[in-house]
């Protein structure tokens, strides 16, 4: 029996050619507003981009409190050329979610939900991203992972108890309960006020001596403090969390506060472990990634940033209003490095394809 090695070689060549042709112009990691805005920008420039998201579409916005309203107007949340319509001056969480769904549907963006990027290998022009579902190849990579998936932990005993949360959705389940809220910025103020209004017994613990909140939130909080709906411990910190109480170090000494639930609204940070594991360097202080402010290219060539991930621990620095323009900066940066032709599929023919398909 003879074996047709020529036939097998041709078949292998065609398989290899198919793999080569699967090279995408860009992989965008993260399907939040910044990632979607980048996808629209690549589409506008006729580049083939795919968005890989470990959770659901705009998972950060989805995890916001149910009754939340954005501080910005509808126009501040818009991406691409798609207009957003909201009933009030400040869009709600639900209106934003519907808007981004409609954008993806109308633009026919390629979104892969519930697929986690595990590693980024390769070089500019030929990156290999290993995911929970396989491998994606791309010429360029955009990291738009935000920060909401990495809360700032307290680092105290009992933080892993089921009653402790770093995310808040709705106040109703906590009616009639003793709740400790930790933090002194906007999210802590909003959570404390909503819980108090829903009938929870709230104690707000803040390590500072003043609040860093927007005036409207601070006014609402101070009104409930004045009416004794909310108890406040300033210059204080939680030292341990137990099943039925919380230990707090205050200026007057250690206190034990009866407690059913804890909301640690202590902020979030970029996923530094993912960045460093994939060769994306951080600043000397380790508090934010290194990137070119003009092109948004990271310290690893061919890997770009979009959105709040580049702020590191300083998450208040970048909001949707500014990050929605990052895609244009990235494309401009690629163009300035004479890579735009490659990104848009105008690269020189690969001789391996010619040989394989000939």
Domains annotated on the chain, with CATH: 5-150+268-357 (3.50.50.60), 164-264 (3.50.50.60)
Q: How many other C-beta atoms lie within 10 A of the C-beta of residue 156? A: 16
- pLDDT truncated to tens, each residue of the chain (358 aa)? 444 545 556 665 554 445 444 899 999 999 999 999 999 999 999 999 999 999 999 999 999 999 899 988 999 999 999 999 999 889 999 999 999 999 999 999 999 999 999 999 999 999 999 999 999 999 999 999 999 999 999 999 999 999 999 999 999 999 999 999 999 999 999 999 999 999 999 999 999 999 999 999 999 999 999 999 999 999 999 999 999 999 999 999 999 999 999 999 999 999 999 999 999 999 999 999 999 999 999 999 999 999 999 999 998 888 888 899 999 999 998 887 754 444 444 343 333 333 333 3
pLDDT attached to residue 336: 79
Distance CA(105)–CA(84), nearest Å, equals 14
pLDDT attached to residue 171: 97
Please state at what angle helix 33-44 crosses helix 93-107, rounded to 10 degrees: 20
N- to C-terminal Cα distance for the chain?
28
Query: Which residues fall within 8 angstroms of residue 4, CB to CB, at 6 or more apart?
Result: none
pTM, two decimals, is 0.85
């Amino acid at each position: 029996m003879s074996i047709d090695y020529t036939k097998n070689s041709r078949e292998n060549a065609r398989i290899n050619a198919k793999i080569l042709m699967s090279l995408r112009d860009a992989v965008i990691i993260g399907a939040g507003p910044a990632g979607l805005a980048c996808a629209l920008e690549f589409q506008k420039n006729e580049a083939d981009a795919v968005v890989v998201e470990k959770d659901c579409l705009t998972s950060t916005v989805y995890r916001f409190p149910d009754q939340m309203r954005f501080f910005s107007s509808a126009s501040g949340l818009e991406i691409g050329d798609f207009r957003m319509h909201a009933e009030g001056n400040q869009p709600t969480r639900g209106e934003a979610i519907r808007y981004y769904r409609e954008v993806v549907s109308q633009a026919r963006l390629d979104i892969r939900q519930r697929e986690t990027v595990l590693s980024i290998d390769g070089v500019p022009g030929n990156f290999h991203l290993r995911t929970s579902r396989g491998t994606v190849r791309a010429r360029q990579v955009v990291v738009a992972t935000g920060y909401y998936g990495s809360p700032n932990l307290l680092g105290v005993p009992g933080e892993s108890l089921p009653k402790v949360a770093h995310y808040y959705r709705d106040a109703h389940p906590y009616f009639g309960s003793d709740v400790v809220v930790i933090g002194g910025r906007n999210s802590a103020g909003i959570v404390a006020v909503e819980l108090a209004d829903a009938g929870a017994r709230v104690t707000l613990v803040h390590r500072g001596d003043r609040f860093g909140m927007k005036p409207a939130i601070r006014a609402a909080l101070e009104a409930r403090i004045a009416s004794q709906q909310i108890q406040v411990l300033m210059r204080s910190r939680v030292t341990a969390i137990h099943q039925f109480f919380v230990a707090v170090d205050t200026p007057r000494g250690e206190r034990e506060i009866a407690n059913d639930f804890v909301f640690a609204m202590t902020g979030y940070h970029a996923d530094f472990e993912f960045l460093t594991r994939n060769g994306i360097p951080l600043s000397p202080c380790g508090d934010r990634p290194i990137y070119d402010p003009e092109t948004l290219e990271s310290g690893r060539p061919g890997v770009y940033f979009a959105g709040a991930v580049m702020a590191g621990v300083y998450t208040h620095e970048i909001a949707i209003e500014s990050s929605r323009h990052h895609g244009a900066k990235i494309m401009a940066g690629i163009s300035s490095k004479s890579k735009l032709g490659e990104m848009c599929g105008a690269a020189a023919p690969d001789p391996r394809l010619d040989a394989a398909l000939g």
